[in-house]
Amino acid sequence: MKSSALAMIIALSAVMPDARAEAQCQFTQGYWQNRAQNANDLSTEVWMAIRDQPFYLSSLSYRQVLQVAPKGNAYWILAHQLVAAQSNYALGAESVDIVSAALARGDQLMAQYTPDQIAAMPKNGEVRQELIAVSRVLDDWNNGLIGTGTCDAGTGAGGN
């Protein structure tokens, strides 16, 4: 079953076809962290729609999550990549099977654990290692190493 956060991202991607048609590439996590409120940027609509929404069990919004320094906590490491990946997906970046699976698994993990629960786990624990593995796939996608490549922040066109 999809969580409400993933369902929101899927619904958002369906109602913004103009933005989806123009940005079939990915923006990096850093782009989303530094998200300017530029009305001419085609990602503004997507970001404005999700930025103040609650992020799973974290008690923070999507925007606030990107302001947390991970400090080795696998929850926050995955959270940063998941926010970027969900934003990219909603914007129209093409996903491949491994990325779709990572988006779904990341959604499940975030819906199941809190940051404190993950912080309390041993560094070599199975769940923590899974969060790191999922975040690596999403990081590769967000950075254009998987899929269509990163976007030129000014145009939304692929940069690879």
147 Cβ neighbours under 8 A, 6+ residues apart: 25, 26, 93, 94, 95, 96, 99, 141
pTM of the model: 0.83
What does the pLDDT look like over 121-143, one tens digit per residue?
999 999 999 999 999 999 999 99
Number of domains into which the chain is organized: 1
156 occurs within a structural domain: no
Find the domain containing 119 and state its range: 21-143
CA dihedral sign of residues 63, 133, 6, 90: positive
What does the pLDDT look like over 74-110, one tens digit per residue?
999 999 999 999 988 888 888 899 999 999 999 999 9
129 occurs within a structural domain: yes
